[in-house]
Each structure stands twice: as C-alpha cells, then as structure tokens.
Amino acid sequence: MMLVARMAGQEEVTLAALFDTCLKLREEVENSTLPTNSDKLQVKIKEGIDELIKTTVLVSELGVFSSNETLDELPTSSIKFLLLPVLLGYFSEKRTDIDRLEVLRIANVYYKDFIMRCKQYELTDASLPEDQIEEADHNDALPEEKIVHKASTKRGMPTPKELEVMARQREEKLRRYKEKKAVADRLAELKKALDNPGHDEDTLRNYYITMVKKFVHESLDELQSVIMEHKMLSEMEVMKKKGMLPSSEVATKTTPFKPILITRDAINKNVFGMGYPSHPSMSVAEFYDQRVKDGWFPDPSKRLNCLQDQAELGPEVAKEAEEHEEEEKEKAEEQDDPEKLAQDRKWDEWRDTHRRGWGNTYNRS
C-alpha cells in the first residue's frame, strides 16, 4: 500500500519519497568535506531536520505504527520508518546554532527513543547505558557539589568487583563489534541482491531489517559518546562557576527544543510520545502553525508577495487577497488607527520633499 499524505495545502507526496530525501541528505552530509560549522553544511543539516520532522509527523498522522504491534505484523514498506529517530539524532548532534549541552540532550532523546522502539519490536536486546542527562533535564541541573566531587575525587586501584565489571564490559564491546561487522557484511550482500530486478519481497524486508540493526549498533556507540561529552561539559560548567576553570564568554540561555517523536497511537492524542510525558502534546495543525511561526515552514497567508506566487495560485486567489487587503485598509481608516494614520502622514511628508522621477538618474546628462 502506498502511503500518500497532504500537509497544509502542499501537493500530495509519498512518505517513501520524503524518507528517501532524508536518506539522501544524510549521505550528502556524511560525505561532505566541509567543516561541520560551515554555513553551507548547517543549512543542509537544518534541511534534513526539517524533512525528517515532516515525515515523522505524517507517519504519526497516518498511523503507520500501532500499539502492541509485532515485527511480523509490520508491513515491509513501514520498517524503514523506524529509522526516523536515529536520523534525527544524527542531524541534531551536528547542529552548531544552539548550546552544545542542548544539542547533546536532544540527540540523547532521539537515540534512546530509537533503541527503545527497536527493543519493542525485538530487533535488539541491547541495554540502554545509564546516564544523567534526563535527570539533569528534569531537575534543571545536577547538584554542583555532586559533580565537583566526582570530577575531583582520585580513585585508587580498582576493587575485584570493579575488575569483574570491566571484564564484562570488555567482552560486551568485543561481542558488539563482531555483531556490527557481521551486520555490515550482511547488508552489503542484500544491497547487491536488490540490484537484481527479480528480487522478491523477502529480500527487501531482510534488507530493511538489517539496515535497522546496523543503525542500532551505530546509535549505541553515538549514545555512549553523547553521554560522556555531556558529563564532561556539565562538570566543566560547574567548575567554571566555582572558579576552578577560566570562564569563557557568557552563553545566552536558549529555549529548550522539544524533540518530535513517532507516536504509536492516534495523532490527536499525542504528537510527542513514547515515554516522555514531560513533553507537551499538540495537534498536527498546532505543530504546523508553530513551525510557520519559527520560520521552518512557509506561511500560506504570505504567499502573495510576488508575481510568481500570484501566478501559481491563480487570478481568483490573488483577487481575493487584494480585496481582503483593501478591506483591512478601510477598517483601519474607519477606526482611525493611530499606526495607520502615522504611516500615511509620514508617506505624505516624504512625497512632498521627493518629487516623482528624482531618483531616476539613469542615462541622464
């Protein structure tokens, strides 16, 4: 079944096409030789986040995933949409326009959501690493004394119990490395098989499942790095406040960004979901209006600012917009709107001192 959606007056698009665009953007960013903080690459990263958010909202709106669903019940065409959170985590981790701690918090949410979802579909049995990012998110900050104590405490020789834990961790890392290599080899084989026009659906299904498993291993590695970096930066911030480290320029506090997660229930119940009750709910219409306000999506009410837009929308729509503008003007004049009166007075004064044609000096001798 082909999943087709229309969003806020835009032309119909398939979810598969949207998702393919997201994968292509990820490949372009991954293979780019530009520095991460370059404006050109950051524009592409923001574009990737934009497209992934649109796809995530549409996946939720169309009910691609449902509660208590098993992997066998999931259609082959829907398996790849499990990758939406991990792709959002990838792009979010590369943002340089917001505070780094906030970047790490966002990436942490996306990576954990992806792994939790894969565990629900029994695509992995990996355990999530323990971290204090969520704790810091709910409590605004970890106790400074606790962080400073951890940063400054010197450890002696590890105890036998600690050595045992370290040995288990080393074995787990070795096992995961072998699994990761086997999954990568298997994915390469399936990709070659897909090049054959006569491939069956089982081959395609195995390809998508193997791709998801590959991203599970990558997201576990990224999650470990995110947690370690977040912990280090948090400790450095506290030490700067205590005067233990030189303070850099004062960073402006940004509004926390709310990650967009896939829902497994009806879209009108929850857009932000999957075990994060602290994130507010909103409808798709409210979400789109907010994105328009933030400048991510185009404002449909401001599409008549140029002749090209008027031509695209047709003469009837353009005429209605002009009539609406005239009505608003008349209402303002009837109500003696002070702002409108001031603008008209200013315009009259300017015209008195600037005769028409004075500015046109082209080809004038």
pLDDT above 60 (res 309): no
Q: What letter does residue 244 receive in the DSSP assignment? A: S
26 and 165 co-located in one domain: yes
Percentage with pLDDT > 90 across the chain = 38
| Residue 318 pLDDT > 70 | no
Mark whether 236 and 331 lie in a shared domain: no
pTM: 0.65
pLDDT given for residue 86 in this prediction = 96
* Domain match, 345 and 260 both: no
Q: Are residues 61 and 151 in the same domain?
A: yes
Note whether 206 and 99 are same-domain residues.
yes
- Residue 91's CB: how many other CB atoms inside 10 A? 25
In this structure, are 122 and 234 located in the same domain? yes
Burial-class residue 294 by CB neighbours within 10 Å (0-12, 13-18, 19+): exposed
**Same domain as 54, residue 167:** yes
Structural domain containing residue 331: 303-353
> Are 268 and 307 found together in one domain?
no
pLDDT in tens, 31-52: 999 999 999 999 999 999 999 9
pLDDT of residue 346: 74
Q: Which residues pair with 13 in a beta bridge?
A: 5
- Average per-residue pLDDT in the chain? 76
Q: Nearest-CA neighbor of 179 among 226, 228, 130, 126? A: 126
Alpha carbons 103 and 94: distance in angstroms, whole number: 8
- Give the C-alpha separation, 83 to 114, whole Å: 7
Regarding whether 258 and 218 lie in a shared domain, the answer is yes
- Which of 275, 294, 313 terminates a domain? The answer is 294
pLDDT band at 150 (very low <50, low <70, confident <90, very high): very low
**300 vs 85, 96, 151, 293, CA distance in Å?**
28, 29, 52, 11
Identify which of 301, 278, 279 has the alpha carbon closest to the alpha carbon of residue 289.
Answer: 301
Q: Are residues 124 and 273 in the same domain?
A: yes
Q: Is residue 365 part of a domain?
A: no
**Residue at 359 is within a domain:** no
Q: Give the whole-angstrom CA distance, residue 354 versus residue 311.
A: 33
Q: CA-CA distances (angstroms) from residue 159 to 39, 152, 165, 170, 245?
A: 49, 20, 10, 16, 31
Q: What are the angstrom distances between the C-alpha of 364 and each of 179, 354, 356?
A: 78, 18, 15
- Asked if residue 253 is part of any domain, the answer here is yes
CATH number at residue 12: 1.25.40.540
Domain membership flag for residue 363: no
Query: What pLDDT does 44 receive?
Result: 95
Residues 6+ apart with CB under 8 A from 30: none
Of 270, 294, 318, at which residue does a domain stop? Answer: 294
CB contact set of 145 (below 8 Å; sequence gap of 6+): none
List helix spans (H) across 195-248. Answer: 201-241
Lowest-confidence segment of 41-55, 101-115, 225-239 by average pLDDT: 225-239
Examine the domain organization and report whether 48 and 161 are in the same domain: yes
Determine what percent of the chain falls in helix, strand and coil, rounding each to the nearest 5: 60, 0, 35
Q: What is the phi/psi pair of residue 4, to 5°? A: -120, 140
Number of folded domains that form the chain: 2
* Judgement on whether residues 163 and 256 belong to the same structural domain of the protein: yes
270 within a domain of the structure (yes/no): yes
> Does residue 200 lie within any of the structural domains?
yes
The amino acid at residue 110 is: Y
CA dihedral (273, 276, 282, 285) positive or negative: negative
How many residues are given for the chain?
A: 365
Distance CA 176, CA 174 (A): 5
Question: In sequence order, what are the residues at sequence separation of 6 or more whose Cβ sits closer than 8 angstroms to the Cβ of residue 296?
Answer: 50, 53
Across the strands, what pairs with 121? none
Q: Is the pLDDT of residue 79 over 90?
A: yes
pLDDT above 80 for 187: yes
pLDDT at 279: 44
d(CA 29, CA 46): 11
At 29, is the pLDDT very low, low, confident or very high (cuts 50, 70, 90)? very high
Does residue 112 belong to any structural domain of this protein? yes
* Residue 210 and residue 190 in contact, taking contact as beta carbons nearer than 8 Å: yes
Q: Does residue 250 sit within a domain?
A: yes
